[in-house]
Structure 1
Amino acid sequence: MPKKYPDEFKVKAIRRYEKGESIQSLCQELHISQSTLYHWRREYCSIQTATHTYTPKEFDSITRRLQKAEHKLEIIQLSGYLSKVPLQDRIATLEHLHTEFTKVYSVHELCEALDVARGTFYNHIFRRADRSKYESEQAQLALKVKQIFDDSEQRYGAEKIRTILISNGLHVSKKHISAIMQELGLHSVRTDAKKLYKAQQRKKQDLLNREFRVDHPNHIWVSDITYFKIKGSWLYLCVIIDLFSRKVIAHRISRSASTRLVTTTFRAAYAERGMPKNLTFHSDRGGQYISDAFSKLLQQFGVKQSFSATARPHDNAVAEAFFATFKKEEAYRREYTSERHFRQSVDGYICFYNEVRPHATLKYKTPQAFEAAYTNDYIEKTCSNSGGG
């Protein structure tokens, strides 16, 4: 009967191995076979990330917890529970969380989590009865500035808004209006708008140049959005794919093709993949991807943004190919009876695509198996380089 060793004994042996002791000397001293120590190495050798060091068991545990948290969020979204909670109740909860955790969560995160528009929340704050007279007046002024700005189809700057307020009997300085516009995130048309537009377009470079092969995961992600009409209503599907393994690492379905659809999908992928460094995100030039909110989110995480050229779908061929395959193998073979039916179909197919379906580009391995093989090789090389046994 094989001898059983305590976990503490195994860990100490591997830590000595990681510090440079050879496998041969350790085996002789501890009276164990080399195959046993190799087995312990696979089980207990450290995995180094940018901020932490994990054992394979710890790393798998963290991955499972992330998956569990992701599933909980998906269940909440699928249940439609938030939409059944009265808006005023959600706003009250949001206000409490904003007061208690103002240094932890931004208004944007809180509003997104509780499905409340930021404008609705700000309007609620503006209308609070316990505000002082001055604060109430400033809130009313901010609402008027916002209304004039929106009525001009977001063309007017501070000076034009000031002129309209004066014509309505309200005298406010241009500087004060500019401050309000900055606080509300209102940006008017500028005289150098054409110059700025061209500069922004130059920045939207294609960093891939149709080179779709990379040598490790979490180096380049590609993304796209497609849409389906289910029982008279449009549903939009956003996916993010790791270019290395062609694995769909996150997907979301929404009733609107909004920037929020893209940001929530990216946040899910970014958390699921352990907040990778030196990442490039590639997409077409759809309004959701070129939006200021999404670009700032990528900048916040240090992610480079890459874009296909206009009207050149082959620049984003991997994402386009996935949707073509999904439609051919799944969507066009179904008669969807409801939104829930469609969501279940998408979830089921992506699981099949990642874990069962062999991929020609990956030498007929599945995306999941292709990544697992890379991870195992990486661990073996890391342990071998750190050992010398």
Structure 2
Amino acid sequence: MSTTKEFQKLKRAPQIYSEAFKRQVVSEFERGLFTKAELRRRYTILGNNCIPRWLKKYGKFTYEDKLTLGRPMKDPQQQRIKELEAQLTKKEEELKVFKRFIEIAERELKIDIGKKVWFQAVEEISTSSLLTTYELCQLFGYTKQAFYKRKSSVKTSKYSSELLRSLVLNVRKQLPRTGGKKLYVMLQNEFIKHQISIGRDTFLDFLKAEYLQVPKARRYYKTTNSRHWMRRYPNLISTIELNRPEQVWVADITYLRTKEKTYYLHLLTDACSKKIVGHQLSDNLMSSTTVKALKMALIDRKTQNELIHHSDRGLQYCSKEYTDLLKKNNIFISMTQAYDPYENAIAERVNGILKEEFGLYEIFENYQNLNKQVTQAIALYNNFRIHMSIDMITPNQAHQQKTIHLKQWKKINRNRINSVTI
């Protein structure tokens, strides 16, 4: 009895197989000579997991756990074909899922992802993929010629981050809240001087990465009283096309603050050149103060061409003192017809630029500091601040021209159905 137990222990003891033996078993299985069960019986191989482990380690084919269901085929090549077909079916389903994912992203984000990034994708993937450039281009729906044509047109941006940052900050010292698109135009001469090659979008990305973007502030303060008994005039500029300086002057009043009190900046702006032609800072909303801004504009008036004065229906602009001065200088009077700010959009925009880009929204120490800041802001605005609507030149430069091709955009007030052009 003891001899039988000792024999069973010896029989069950772990066996050690040589590398050559393992490779021979794998070879016989992959050639289809024997099945796994036949090999175990033929060579007295104990354990059901020995041969599968050897196949994974030494086999020419790829073996995965639990890939197939049911009884395995006797022919390993047929078994492998079945496994590969299962893998292919799974990958095709995954590809459908990713394509559907891209379609949903394009629909929700309202962009054509394939059109935007196909070139970058082919360029980056081709270095590590087994697919050729031709095959990758076909995968994205483009030709190989389109890829190399795009590649030849791409210019590598070459710039020093420190140098570029210093150039931006030099402009921001005078115009601290100038946007990225205007900065890109203003720095063109510096780019040439320092041999900086950079595109507009890359420049905007640089500003974002360096935290040099300008956040917008939204503020509102009522300075107009339209509920009065004085005469209101019709809107004369709603249908005219702006094409020259001193064709339309727009007027508005905006508030500014100090620690002591609130002050009001009375402004008069040329609608076509965007130049501030008259201004007056005061602690009141009286018409006599608004008249001072008008007189300043009249002194610097260069031509006697037909001129329209456009404003809201505030009592300052409807007062007899103000309208008499306009009529005396043969200036037509035009006013907004509703409470829609887009009817006097240019004046509103100039107010916003002075506050947001030149820091006039801040609370100043006293009137002297505020007045100094206002004077500097208007001088910088007229002489250095460029505008997209006048082909990226300054208001002073535009005011010297006889005709101006003014770019216009449609602005939609969400409180009204129709839109107006500014």
TM superposition score category, shorter chain reference? 0.3 to 0.5
Higher share in helix: 1
Structure number with bigger Rg: 2
Query: Which fold has the larger relative contact order, with Cα–Cα distance below 8 Å and residues 6 or more apart in sequence?
Result: 1
Output the TM-score relative to the length of structure 2: 0.39
Output the TM-score relative to the length of structure 1: 0.43
